[in-house]
């Protein structure tokens, strides 16, 4: 991958791009589902909003878009390698009249779940199983094909929280997103109290674009509760 | 019908189209508002108990008066709702208009009031279900057993976040309205003594003593009208849908209750309504239906009364737990209450707290042997109604104060004249209400409750005010976000924009393009590689 910029932030991304950049939404999907059964750990609305935020996060991490003061701006128009990220970026570029992160979260969350699950399925990470229960509509569960990959993000993040170590942009982003979607309570439940404190410190020091994305996500998740209707 | 005031979007936009597909129109918003108002609960439960307890005839005219007053209040309220974070809750208006400590005071008064309203309903469900259980199964369980079952149902549904299905609620609501209209029209065709008495509709009823009590009871019937603004971000055209839905809801509620409460007096006879209500309680309307329409109609009415009460319980339970949730989200109450259950997404800790409170009261009343209908349902309801009236009045002051300090593009009528008129009228109503607490509660003027009920609201408001000041001194970050509800996560008002503002001209892209990870906030940057 050619150097994208000479700012220090960009170099960091370049170094880690191969490992994490395209996978933020995949990683959040894994975090939000049980690693063997594929059962969701969060309610559908929070999962969808978290995945939408992660899709935006992928583009921010690849420096295709910029998040400032709760708004999204296209930055570099060279298409990302991943097809879903490419499609998302095209949407953002084509509709410059919509800049609020909240609007994009709302929009992307409508399809994010199926989109990300499909991406995982195409890469062979999950297999969809349709189940029917009495009086309920059919539900699709995406069962992980490999336990180690599926448990990867959870193991990695709990290790950081236990050790009190530092995080990369991507790891920090996932942690902040987990807090914003109320997933973090499950993450730190079995950990010592120091882990929760470390999580608070990490969040307080988060870069502006991550705090913004996490704040808008948390607000949308909370709003979904307040204006819930059937 | 006026053409839509907003022109078509200038460019093709899948974002606007996708989000608009899920948007609400006027009828949907009215349904949400009305289904929380549960008309049969008010008509069969509140109206009859009100006649019995106050001994006054003026309830039909009070519904008209309060309807007009709340419509006037809604002008400024809806205009301000576009500038408020947690726009469905009165305390948000207080914190924006009168300062954040006033907001906390309002929030605590609201919590007390909504809890009174919700828990009060447990007192009525026994009386409502007993005739049915007797008729169908020949059993007459004690009221607390029926209340216990209703409590378990409400608590479970609250936790599972299975709000009763919207379609089912709509059917129930339409059935309730149909029953009320049919019963009332039949009553009008069978006037006592052969002539229809118009005296209960006369405005003269609102000049005598005890008028304050009647006005509080009427306000009780309208509780929930304020919730239309919650859906402003989800409505097709907030500037048109929300005001229209609010005015129409108020008008519908006012007409329905005026008709029902007046028809009852016509059929029984104005001079006998008080006495009959005292003898028959919530059965008045069903006994009339039984006499004029037959036993089947009365059974249908009874059944809907029970479902109406249960729907009201669930609605008020959800309102109360969402209030706690919003306050927990802000950090005004312990943050624990701002969490949701991971699997169902319900505000489970807030929900369990409200349920625990409800169970405690049911057990207390059952052990003490107090009368559930009068002391729990009626006093809980009227006490809660008084609290809501105080909140509406305080909010009307906040609307005036807000528009004085924040000049806006609203018309003079919306931001000055209507709010000031509404404020003046509501303050008069509050004074009248506080003078008539004895009539309202149906107790002697020297009874303990006459000063204890208003004092409870005063103490809770004072404590809230104090807590607001403590937060200002000790937790400025929490203090800054009071009144924002779930939007508290976004920081101070407007810091990260509101969804409603999007879709206009693209704002200027910031000139300085920083790299990733720039602008880290706070200390501890070394934690981020």
- For residue range B503-517, list pLDDT tens digits in order: 444 445 554 444 454
pLDDT for position A13:
44
Chains A & B: contacts with CB separation below 8 Å: 222
- For residue range A117-151, list pLDDT tens digits in order: 999 999 999 999 998 876 667 789 999 999 988 99
pLDDT for position B391:
95
Residues in chain A: 230
pLDDT for position B484:
83
- The CA distance from A94 to the nearest CA of chain B, in Å, is 9
B333-337: long-range contacts, CB 8 A cutoff, minimum separation 24:
none
Cβ distance A102 to B497 less than 8 Å, yes or no, reads: yes
Nearest to B27 by CA among B255, B248, B253: B248
Q: Which of A185, A204, A228 sits opposite B342 (nearest CB)?
A: A185
Q: What would the 3-class secondary structure string for B65-131 be?
A: HHHHHHHHHHHHHHHHHCCCCCCCCHHHHHHHHHCHHHHHHHHHHHHHHHHHHHHHHHHHHHHHHHH
- The CA distance from B236 to the nearest CA of chain A, in Å, is 15
Return the H-helix or E-strand segment holding B138.
none
| CA–CA separation, A182 and A190 (whole Å) | 15
Q: Which of B322, B329, B527 sits opposite A166 (nearest CB)?
A: B527
B190 burial level (CB within 10 Å; 0-12, 13-18, 19+): middle
Q: Which of A45, A95, A225 sits opposite B325 (nearest CB)?
A: A225
| CA–CA separation, B140 and B465 (whole Å) | 47
pLDDT for position A11:
38
pLDDT for position B443:
87
Give how far Cα B48 sits from Cα of A109, A181, B388, Å. Answer: 49, 47, 21
Which residues 6+ apart lie within 8 Å of B483 measured at CB?
B84, B85, B86, B91, B92, B93, B94, B95, B96, B100, B103, B330
Query: Higher pLDDT residue, B336 or A11?
Result: B336
Question: Which positions in chain B touch A93 (Cβ < 8 Å)?
Answer: none
- For residue range A194-214, list pLDDT tens digits in order: 999 999 999 999 888 899 999
Q: Which of A167, A182, A225 sits opposite B322 (nearest CB)?
A: A225
Q: Hey, what CATH class is A8-224 in?
A: mainly alpha
| CA–CA separation, B520 and B517 (whole Å) | 6
Q: What would the 3-class secondary structure string for B393-451 be?
A: HHHHHHHHHHHHHCCCCCCHHHHHHHHHHHHHHHHHHHHHHHHCHHHHHCCCCCCHHHH
Cβ distance A212 to B503 less than 8 Å, yes or no, reads: no
Cβ distance B489 to A180 less than 8 Å, yes or no, reads: yes
pLDDT for position A139:
84
Instruction: Return the SS3 of A72.
Output: strand
Nearest to B305 by CA among B291, B323, B327, B287: B287
Mean predicted lDDT score pLDDT of chain A: 85
ipTM entry: 0.78
Residue of B nearest to A4 (CA): B515
Backbone angles phi, psi at A105, to 5 degrees: -60, -50
Q: Which of A5, A97, A221 sits opposite B503 (nearest CB)?
A: A97
Say whether residue B21 is in contact with chain A using an 8 A CB cutoff.
no
Backbone angles phi, psi at A72, to 5 degrees: -105, 130
Instruction: Return the SS3 of B474.
Output: helix
Q: What angle do CA B31, B34, B36 make, to 5 degrees?
A: 110
| CA–CA separation, B436 and B445 (whole Å) | 9
Residues of chain B short of pLDDT 70, as ranges, are 1-11, 21-22, 161-166, 491-525
Say whether residue B185 is in contact with chain A using an 8 A CB cutoff.
no
- Residue pointed to by tokens 């929009």: A107
The full set of domains in chain B, from first to last, is 22-487 (1.20.1740.10)
Residue B45 is classified by DSSP as I
Residue B44 is classified by DSSP as I
Q: How confident is the model at residue A44 (pLDDT cuts 50, 70, 90)?
A: confident
Using CB atoms and an 8 Å cut-off, which of residues 319-338 of chain B contact chain A? 322, 325-326, 329, 338
CB atoms within 10 A of CB B170: 16
**What are the residue ranges spanned by the domains of chain A?**
8-224
Q: Which two tokens stand for residue A111?
A: 């399809």
Asked whether B527 and A202 are in contact (CB, 8 A), the reply is yes
Which residues 6+ apart lie within 8 Å of B136 measured at CB?
none
Residue of B nearest to A63 (CA): B516
Nearest to B422 by CA among B22, B64, B69: B69
Say whether residue B479 is in contact with chain A using an 8 A CB cutoff.
no
Nearest to B414 by CA among B243, B252, B222, B248: B243
| CA–CA separation, A225 and A206 (whole Å) | 26
Instruction: Return the SS3 of B87.
Output: coil
- The CA distance from B231 to the nearest CA of chain A, in Å, is 7
- Residue pointed to by tokens 């169970």: B359
Q: What angle do CA B40, B43, B46 make, to 5 degrees?
A: 115
Question: Which positions in chain A touch B341 (Cβ < 8 Å)?
Answer: 43
| CA–CA separation, B510 and B22 (whole Å) | 32
- Number of helices (H), then strands (E), in chain B: 21, 0
One-character DSSP codes across A87-156 = HHHHHHHH-TT--BHHHHHHHHHTTHHHHHHHHHHHTTSEEEEEE--TTS--EEEEEES-HHHHHHHHHH
Cβ distance B343 to A212 less than 8 Å, yes or no, reads: no
Q: Which of B13, B346, B486 sits opposite A95 (nearest CB)?
A: B13
Instruction: Return the SS3 of B162.
Output: coil
- For residue range B300-330, list pLDDT tens digits in order: 999 999 999 988 898 889 888 888 998 998 8
- For residue range B385-395, list pLDDT tens digits in order: 999 999 999 99
* Torsion from C-alpha of B406, B408, B412, B413, nearest 10 degrees: -90
CA terminus-to-terminus distance, chain A: 48
Half-sphere exposure of B491 (CA within 13 A, CB side): 13
Q: Which two tokens stand for residue B10?
A: 């200038």
Residue of A nearest to B504 (CA): A97
Which residues is A140 bridged to in the sheet?
Answer: A130
Q: Which of B88, B233, B347 sits opposite A225 (nearest CB)?
A: B347
Asked whether B256 and B248 are in contact (CB, 8 A), the reply is no
pLDDT for position B509:
53
pLDDT for position B466:
96
Cβ distance A218 to B503 less than 8 Å, yes or no, reads: no
Nearest to A49 by CA among A99, A108, A114: A108
Which pTM does this prediction carry?
A: 0.85
Mutation target among B89, B332, B496 for the A interface, most CBs of A within 10 A? B496
């Amino acid at each position: 991958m050619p150097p994208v910029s000479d700012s220090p932030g960009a170099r960091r991304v370049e170094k880690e791009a191969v490992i994490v950049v395209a996978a933020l939404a995949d990683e959040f999907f894994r975090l939000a589902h049980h690693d063997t059964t594929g059962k969701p750990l969060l309610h559908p609305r929070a999962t969808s909003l978290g995945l939408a935020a992660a899709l935006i996060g992928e583009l921010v991490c690849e420096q295709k878009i910029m998040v400032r003061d709760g708004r999204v701006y296209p930055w570099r128009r060279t298409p990302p390698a991943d097809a879903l990220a490419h499609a998302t970026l095209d949407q953002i570029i084509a509709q410059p009249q919509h800049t609020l992160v909240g609007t994009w979260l709302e929009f992307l969350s409508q399809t994010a779940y199926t989109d990300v699950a499909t991406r995982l399925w195409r890469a062979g990470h999950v297999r969809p199983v349709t189940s029917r229960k009495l009086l309920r509509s059919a539900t699709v569960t995406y069962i992980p094909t490999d336990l180690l990959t599926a448990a990867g993000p959870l193991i990695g993040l709990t290790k950081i929280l236990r050790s009190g170590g530092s995080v990369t942009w991507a790891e920090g982003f996932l942690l902040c997103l987990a807090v914003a979607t109320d997933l973090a309570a499950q993450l730190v439940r079995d950990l010592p109290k120091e882990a929760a404190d470390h999580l608070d410190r990490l969040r307080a020091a988060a870069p502006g674009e991550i705090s913004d994305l996490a704040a808008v996500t948390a607000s949308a998740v909370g709003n979904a509760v307040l204006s819930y209707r059937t | 019908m006026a053409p839509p005031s907003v022109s078509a979007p200038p460019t093709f936009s899948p974002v606007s189209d996708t989000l608009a597909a899920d948007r609400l129109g006027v009828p949907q918003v009215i349904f949400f508002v009305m289904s929380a108002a549960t008309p049969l609960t008010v008509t069969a439960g509140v109206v009859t108990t009100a006649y019995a307890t106050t001994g006054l005839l003026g309830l039909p005219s009070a519904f008209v008066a309060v309807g007009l007053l709340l419509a006037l209040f809604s002008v400024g309220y809806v205009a301000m709702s576009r500038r408020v974070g947690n726009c469905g809750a009165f305390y948000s208006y207080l914190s924006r208009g009168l300062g954040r400590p006033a907001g906390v005071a309002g929030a605590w008064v609201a919590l007390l009031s909504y809890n009174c309203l919700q828990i009060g309903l447990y007192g009525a469900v026994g009386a409502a279900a007993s005739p049915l259980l007797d008729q169908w199964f020949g059993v007459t369980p004690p009221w607390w057993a029926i209340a216990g079952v209703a409590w378990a149902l409400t608590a479970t549904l609250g936790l599972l976040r299975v709000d009763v299905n919207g379609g089912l609620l709509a059917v129930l609501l339409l059935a309730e309205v149909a029953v009320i209209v049919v019963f009332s029209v039949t009553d009008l065709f069978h006037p006592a003594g052969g002539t229809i008495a118009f005296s209960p509709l006369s405005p003269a009823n609102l000049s005598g003593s005890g008028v304050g009590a009647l006005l509080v009871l009427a306000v009780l019937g309208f509780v929930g009208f304020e919730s239309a603004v919650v859906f402003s971000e989800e409505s097709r055209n907030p500037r048109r849908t929300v005001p229209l839905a609010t005015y129409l809801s108020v008008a519908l509620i006012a007409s329905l209750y005026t008709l029902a409460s007046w028809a009852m007096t016509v059929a029984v006879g104005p001079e006998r309504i008080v006495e009959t209500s005292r003898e028959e309680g919530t059965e008045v309307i069903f006994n009339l239906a039984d006499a004029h329409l037959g036993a089947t109609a009365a059974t249908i009415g009874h059944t809907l009364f029970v479902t109406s009460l249960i729907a009201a319980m669930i609605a008020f339970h959800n309102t109360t737990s969402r209030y706690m949730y919003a306050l927990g989200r802000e950090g005004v109450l312990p943050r624990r209450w701002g969490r949701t259950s991971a699997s169902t997404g319900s505000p489970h800790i807030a929900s369990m707290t409200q349920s625990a409170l409800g169970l405690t009261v049911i057990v207390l009343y059952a052990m003490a042997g107090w009368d559930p209908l009068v002391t729990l349902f009626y006093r809980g309801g009227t006490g809660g109604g008084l609290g809501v009236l105080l909140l509406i009045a305080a909010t009307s002051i906040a609307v005036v104060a807000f528009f004085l300090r924040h000049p806006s593009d609203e018309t003079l009528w919306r931001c000055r004249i209507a709010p000031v008129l509404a404020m003046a009228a509501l303050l008069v109503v509050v004074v009248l209400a506080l003078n008539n607490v004895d009539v309202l509660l149906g107790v002697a003027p020297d009874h303990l409750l006459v000063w204890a009920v208003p004092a409870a609201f005063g103490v809770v408001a004072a404590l809230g005010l104090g807590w607001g000041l403590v937060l200002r001194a000790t937790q400025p970050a929490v203090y800054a976000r009071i009144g924002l509800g779930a939007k508290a996560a976004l920081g101070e008002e407007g810091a990260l924009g509101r969804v409603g503002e999007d879709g206009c001209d693209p704002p200027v892209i910031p000139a300085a393009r920083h790299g990733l990870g720039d602008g880290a906030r706070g200390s501890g940057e070394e934690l981020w590689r």
